[in-house]
Amino acid sequence: MQASLITFIRILRSHDVRVSPAETLDAVAALQLLGYADRDRLRTGLTASLAKTSREQHIVETCFDRYFGQRDADFSGKDDNDDADDTDSAGSAAAGPESPPQDSGAADDGERELLESAAETHDSVRELLQSALMQGLMNNERAQLSAALRRAGSASGVADIQMFTQKGLYVRSILQAMGEEQLRSAVIDLERDEHPALDSIRRYRDILRSQVRDYVDGQYLLHAEGRNSQFMDDILSKTRLSHIERHYMDRVQRLVEKMARRLASRHSSRRRPVRRGQLDMRKTLRAGVPTDGILFRTHWRRRRRDKAQVLALCDVSGSVAAYAKFLLIFLYSLQDILPRMRSFAFSHHLGEISELFETHPVERAVELANWQYGGATDYGGSLRDFARLALNDINRQTSVIILGDARNNRGDPELEIMQSLYQRSKQVIWLNPESRQAWGTGDSEMLRYLSACHFAAECNSLRQLERVIDQLLRSTR
Partner 1 sequence: MNRQALPQFESIEAIRHGFDALGYICSDRIATTVFLAFQLGKPVLVEGPPGVGKTELAKTASALLSLPLIRLQCYEGLDEAKALYEWKYGKQLLYTQILKEKLGDLLQGADDLAAAVERLHAFGDIFYSEAFLEPRPLLTAMQQEEGAILLIDEIDKADYEFESLLLEVLSDFQVSIPEIGTVRARSRPMVFLTSNNTREISDALKRRCLHLYIPFPSLELEERIVQSRVPGIDDALRRQLVAFVHSLRELDLRKTPAISETIDWARSLLLLHADALDAQLVRDSLGTLLKFEQDIEAAQAELGSLLDISAGRH
Instruction: Indicate which single residue of 2, 6, 36, 52 sits in contact with partner 1 (rule: CB under 8 A).
Output: 52
CB-nearer residue toward partner 1: 165 or 265? 265
Stretch that binds partner 1, among 41-49, 313-321, 425-433, 441-449 (CB under 8 A): 41-49
Q: Residue type at 143?
A: A
Select from 2, 4, 6, 20 the one that contacts partner 1 (CB under 8 A): 20
- Stretch of residues binding partner 1 (CB under 8 A), selected from 50-58, 95-103, 209-217, 440-448: 50-58
Residues 406-435 close enough to bind partner 1 by CB under 8 A:
none
Residues 205 and 208: their CA atoms lie apart, in Å, by: 5
Using rule CB under 8 A, residue 18 touches partner 1? yes
By CB under 8 A, is residue 285 in contact with partner 1? yes
45 binds partner 1 (CB under 8 A): yes
Q: Which residues 205-234 are close enough to bind partner 1 by CB under 8 A?
A: none
Provide the minimum distance between the beta carbon of 100 and partner 1 in the complex, in angstroms, as a whole number: 24
383, 418 Cβ separation under 8 angstroms: yes
Please count the CA atoms within 13 angstroms of the CA of 61 that sit on its side-chain side.
17
**Nearest-approach distance from CB 34 to partner 1, in angstroms:** 7
302 backbone φψ class: left, alpha, beta (φ>0; ψ -120 to 50): beta
> Distance between CA atoms of 247 and 264, rounded to whole angstroms?
27
Selected from 9, 11, 12, 51, the binder of partner 1 by CB under 8 A is: 51
Contact flag: residue 48 with partner 1 (CB under 8 A): yes
Residue 44 in the binding site for partner 1 (CB under 8 A): yes
Rounded to a whole number of angstroms, the minimum distance from the CB of residue 326 to partner 1 is 25
Tell me: does residue 270 bind partner 1 (CB under 8 A): yes
CB of 88 to partner 1, least distance (A): 25
| C-alpha span between 147 and 149 (Å, rounded) | 5
Nearer to partner 1 (CB atom), residue 54 or residue 81: 54
Examine residue 95 and tell whether it contacts partner 1 (CB under 8 A).
no
1 near partner 1, rule: CB under 8 A: no
Specify the stretch interacting with partner 1 by CB under 8 A; choose among 24-32, 97-105, 141-149, 197-205: 24-32
Q: Residue 34, interface with partner 1 (CB under 8 A)?
A: yes
Cα torsion 14, 17, 21, 27: sign: negative
* Residue pair 336/365 in contact by the 8 Å Cβ criterion: no
| Angstrom distance (rounded) from CA 304 to CA 313 | 28
Q: For residues 257 and 337, give the distance between their C-alpha atoms in angstroms, rounded to a whole number.
A: 11
- Binding status of residue 39 toward partner 1 by CB under 8 A: no
Site string for partner 1, 296-335 (x = CB under 8 A): -------x--------------------------------
Residue 259 touches partner 1, criterion: CB under 8 A: no
Q: Which stretch binds partner 1 (CB under 8 A): 8-16, 252-260, 278-286, 438-446?
A: 278-286
Q: Does 278 bind partner 1 (CB under 8 A)?
A: no
Residue 287: CB minimum distance to partner 1, A: 10
- Please tell me whether residue 81 binds partner 1 under the rule CB under 8 A: no
Nearest approach in angstroms of CB 363 to partner 1 is: 20
Distance between CA atoms of residues 371 and 358, nearest Å: 17
Compute how many residues bind partner 1; rule: CB under 8 A: 33
CB-CB contact of 326 with 462 (8 Å): yes
Q: Which stretch binds partner 1 (CB under 8 A): 27-35, 123-131, 199-207, 388-396?
A: 27-35
Nearer to partner 1, 53 or 81 (CB): 53
Contact residues for partner 1 (CB under 8 A)?
A: 18, 20, 22-23, 26, 29-30, 33-34, 40-41, 44-45, 47-49, 51-54, 56-57, 265, 268, 270-271, 282, 285-286, 289, 292-293, 303
